Amino acid sequence: MRFAVDTGGTFTDLVLEDDRGRLHMFKAPTTPDDPVRGILDVVGTAAESFGATPETLLGRGDLFIHGTTHATNACVTGTTARTAFLTTHGHPDVMVLREGGRLQPFNFRVPFPKPYVPRSLTFEIRERIAADGKVLEPVDEESVLEIIGRLRERRVEAVAVCLLWSTVNPLHERRVGELLSHHLPDVPYTLSHVLNPVLREYRRASSACIDASLKPLMSRYLGSLAIRLRKAGFRGRLLMLTAQGGVMDAEDLAAAPIHAVGSGPSMAPIAGRHFARLDVRGDTAIVADTGGTTYDVSLVRRGSIPITPETWLGQRYRGHILGFPSVDVRSIGAGGGSIAWVDEGGLLQVGPMSAGAVPGPASYGKGGTRATVTDAALVLGYIDPAYFLGGAMKLDVALAQQAVGRDVGGPLGLDLNGAAAAIVRVATENMVGAIEEITVNQGIDPRGAVLVGGGGAAGLNSVAIARRLGCRGLVIPELGAALSAAGAIMSDLHAGYRALQFTVSDGFDLAGVNMTLAELLGRCQRFLEGPGSGALEHSVDIVAEARYRHQIWEIDVPIPFQRFEDETHVARVREAFDRVHEEIFGFGDPGSAVEFVGWRATVRCRLRGRSLGRLAREKGSRVKLAPTRKVYFGDAGVVSARIELFETLRPEQPLKGPAIIESPFTTVVIDPGARVMRKRSGSLVITP
């Protein structure tokens, strides 16, 4: 039995795979003050459905896979550990000067971003290593000890170390790490050459600082999670989601917690790719995961999930770069809990603020008073107030009407339905804009893609989104309400390693590159013999980070072999680079030399043998709903919409809108003119 839990901003999702391969889905409100309590709550909900105690249910589990926003939220809200930054003497402004990009070059009202670690906690170490690895100035150990004394006085809780050219010769960083271990044994630290050996100083320093700042927090969180799961009866293996679209052991994540940042959304495209192939045989898909707080958008292109090196905490250039390749996911503050408000200019805005799980939308009746997308959907008749979460939670229509009328209807002079429809329409446009950023802005026509809708709030406006984009189809999987958790069930155990080895295509260093690849492959082999032992099968992918001479940024080029035998292999990789460059930028330059800067090896281990199963029907899930409901649809006004249950909808039988398809976890709105059919896989396939 396997558990996959995704802790979101509003709900905690659990997808459970039983011993027969059947899937079970459960939800419980997230508990921000103690996220582990929310995890145990959703396990308790599952145990109740199975007619067992949580201890008995957990005792049957062999894997517990968990994705959390804990690390991301801590970075964004500034609640990480008090962190010091140690760097080479004369270079204290690495975190201040950054890389200089600007979203709006001529907007001088935007304040300069604050460094992740302030200058007051930045310390300079007297040492210097040259770009070729030669020691120009040895480490002044007395100055390091003096700095350690100052760190102790300032009650520093974590330390990041990033010295110049430590990626070429890590001797000095290692010595500083030894001194920290001996004289500050209770303070965790991160060495940049161990965590992220990349060329660019700011990215390496930023990743080291973010990682170090998370170590105390994530060690406590993961330690608490492991202990409380053990006390609750779990005896299996605890795995954590990473931003690279895989999982790793909890203790390994605690040692490098930066991999947890943005981990949850990285699972949605894995599940989305599966359902796009299964239901419509599509290799290009837009995967949209609509939660209560955020709208996460990702892409599947020709069956592959794009990876980006440009992962930022916050806005690009204004936030802090992670410095690691990760699944390309764009997130905006839009979801079921997004708050609607009218700005000073009289324009309706939706988000990015969210009512979250506490106090929640006004209709929850838990103290929230602001109008949200959920409240608007309730006013329009999209949501059945008596069947929210399958009837486990009752919504208050009067409170929703009061909030929508007060916050939007009154200021804009709209009636109740008009105000609620405006909220949903603005939220839809915000979501369309996020999708266009990842498709149209990258030269991808969304009209040739299928939209896969996931998340508990996806069904409210996915048909409207697909119409606006002109998508050829829309898929709402039966597991869509917990899309990220479903992706976690399918994910592989993985580890990634990287190294610098500079060479040029017209003077390729065969011996040096092969030595670097052999070292990376050796680390992959040790992983296979350790955490990866017992895997059903494994794969190792090698990538070169390359660029044309005089270019600034590298692109990834897959390497189809593990060793360069001769110049023929060099020519093959060179030609592959030209093709990838032309695909991304629209041109290639076969006459220019190619510089190979870095190398990466990623090992993936498959832990499950069976294909993804079907969602089981839980005991007591049969309900009887009214056959129709009055629903407001914009230009069509109030119409009578047919009501169907997701689980009892007959396969391969087309249904025309207007209709509402209900499940205990989501509500799917089929607008007038749209057609829907439930596939034998359980998914809804909608022609917008």
**Contact status, residue 23 vs residue 15, Cβ threshold 8 Å:** yes
pLDDT tens column, 354-402: 887 778 899 999 999 999 999 999 999 999 999 888 888 899 999 999 9
Q: Is residue 295 part of a domain?
A: no
Tokens of 399: 């409170």
Q: Which residues contact 78 (CB under 8 A, 6 or more apart)?
A: none
Q: Which residues contact 589 (CB under 8 A, 6 or more apart)?
A: 548, 578, 581
Q: Which residues contact 526 (CB under 8 A, 6 or more apart)?
A: none
Q: Which of 170, 198, 213 is the last residue of a domain?
A: 213
Closest by alpha carbon to 659, among 387, 255, 382?
382
What value does the mean pLDDT take over residues 78-85? 95
pLDDT tens column, 434-443: 999 889 888 8
What value does the mean pLDDT take over residues 454-466? 92
- Quick one: pLDDT band at residue 332, thresholds 50, 70, 90? confident
- Residue 399: the pLDDT is 96
pLDDT tens column, 634-653: 888 999 999 999 888 999 99
- Residue 39: the pLDDT is 95
- Residue 648: the pLDDT is 87
The total domain count for the chain is 3
- Residue 322: the pLDDT is 93
- Residue 72: the pLDDT is 85
- Quick one: pLDDT band at residue 574, thresholds 50, 70, 90? very high
Q: Is residue 241 part of a domain?
A: yes
Domain range for 514 is: 493-606
- Quick one: pLDDT band at residue 36, thresholds 50, 70, 90? very high
Q: Is residue 588 part of a domain?
A: yes
Do 254 and 174 belong together in one domain?
Answer: no
Query: Is pLDDT of 89 > 70?
Result: yes
Give pTM, 2 decimals.
Answer: 0.88
CA distance linking residue 323 with residue 228, whole number of Å? 33
Check which CATH number belongs to the domain holding 521 and give it.
3.30.1490
CA distance linking residue 482 with residue 42, whole number of Å? 13
- Quick one: pLDDT band at residue 10, thresholds 50, 70, 90? confident
Query: Is pLDDT of 621 > 80?
Result: no
Distances (CA, A) of 522 to 174, 274, 311, 492, 525: 21, 32, 28, 20, 5
Do 505 and 571 belong together in one domain?
Answer: yes
Do 103 and 7 belong together in one domain?
Answer: no
Do 90 and 207 belong together in one domain?
Answer: yes
Do 166 and 231 belong together in one domain?
Answer: no
What distance lies between CA 644 and its chain's CA centroid?
A: 32
- What are the beta bridge partners of residue 331? 296
pLDDT tens column, 164-216: 999 999 999 999 999 999 999 999 999 999 999 998 999 999 999 999 999 99
**Contact status, residue 288 vs residue 462, Cβ threshold 8 Å:** yes
CA distance linking residue 680 with residue 304, whole number of Å? 25
Query: Is pLDDT of 61 > 90?
Result: yes
Q: Is 287 helix (H, G, I), strand (E, B) or coil?
A: strand
- What are the beta bridge partners of residue 5? 14, 66
- Residue 264: the pLDDT is 77
Q: Is residue 524 part of a domain?
A: yes
Q: Is residue 251 part of a domain?
A: yes
pLDDT tens column, 209-255: 999 999 999 999 999 999 999 999 999 999 999 999 899 999 999 99
- Residue 618: the pLDDT is 66
CA 573-579-582 angle, to 5 degrees, is 140
Q: Which residues contact 605 (CB under 8 A, 6 or more apart)?
A: 492, 493, 494, 528, 531, 532, 535, 536, 537, 538
CA distance linking residue 395 with residue 378, whole number of Å? 8
CA distance linking residue 271 with residue 266, whole number of Å? 10
Query: Is pLDDT of 622 > 60?
Result: no
Q: Which of 213, 241, 274 is the last residue of a domain?
A: 213
Do 10 and 104 belong together in one domain?
Answer: no
Q: Residue 361, preceding bond cis, omega within 30 degrees?
A: no
Do 6 and 117 belong together in one domain?
Answer: no
pLDDT tens column, 494-523: 999 999 999 999 999 999 999 999 999 999
What dihedral do alpha carbons 146, 149, 155, 159 form, nearest 10°? Answer: 50
**Which is it for strands 2-7 and 63-68: parallel, antiparallel or unpaired?**
parallel
Query: Is pLDDT of 313 > 90?
Result: no
CA 74-269-65 angle, to 5 degrees, is 55
Q: Residue 664, preceding bond cis, omega within 30 degrees?
A: no
Q: What is the mean pLDDT of the chain?
A: 92
Residues in the chain: 688
- Quick one: pLDDT band at residue 619, thresholds 50, 70, 90? low
DSSP codes of every residue in 594-608? EEEEEEEEEEEEE--
Edge-to-edge strand ranges of the sheet holding 473-476? 330-332, 295-300, 285-290, 450-454, 473-476, 684-687, 675-678, 655-656
- Residue 611: the pLDDT is 79
Do 85 and 191 belong together in one domain?
Answer: yes
pLDDT tens column, 259-299: 999 887 889 999 999 999 999 998 899 999 998 888 899 99
Do 524 and 562 belong together in one domain?
Answer: yes
- What are the beta bridge partners of residue 558? 543
CA 287-425-661 angle, to 5 degrees, is 60
CA 83-87-90 angle, to 5 degrees, is 135
Phi, psi of 40, deg, nearest 5? -65, -30
With pLDDT > 90 as the criterion, what percentage of the chain qualifies?
Answer: 73
- Residue 312: the pLDDT is 87
- Residue 357: the pLDDT is 73
Query: Is pLDDT of 14 > 90?
Result: yes
**Contact status, residue 474 vs residue 453, Cβ threshold 8 Å:** yes
Tokens of 128: 């210097």
Q: Is residue 344 part of a domain?
A: no
Do 209 and 223 belong together in one domain?
Answer: no
Check which CATH number belongs to the domain holding 57 and give it.
3.30.420.40
Q: Is residue 386 part of a domain?
A: no
Q: Which of 240, 264, 288 is the last residue of a domain?
A: 264
Q: Is residue 69 part of a domain?
A: yes
- Quick one: pLDDT band at residue 420, thresholds 50, 70, 90? very high
Written in H, E and C, the secondary structure of 42-89 is: HHHHHHHHHCCCHHHHHHCCCEEEEEECHHHHHHHHCCCCCEEEEEEC
Q: Is 72 helix (H, G, I), strand (E, B) or coil?
A: helix
- Residue 565: the pLDDT is 94
Do 23 and 90 belong together in one domain?
Answer: no
Query: Is pLDDT of 140 > 90?
Result: yes
- Residue 121: the pLDDT is 97
Phi, psi of 395, deg, nearest 5? -105, 150
Do 203 and 227 belong together in one domain?
Answer: no
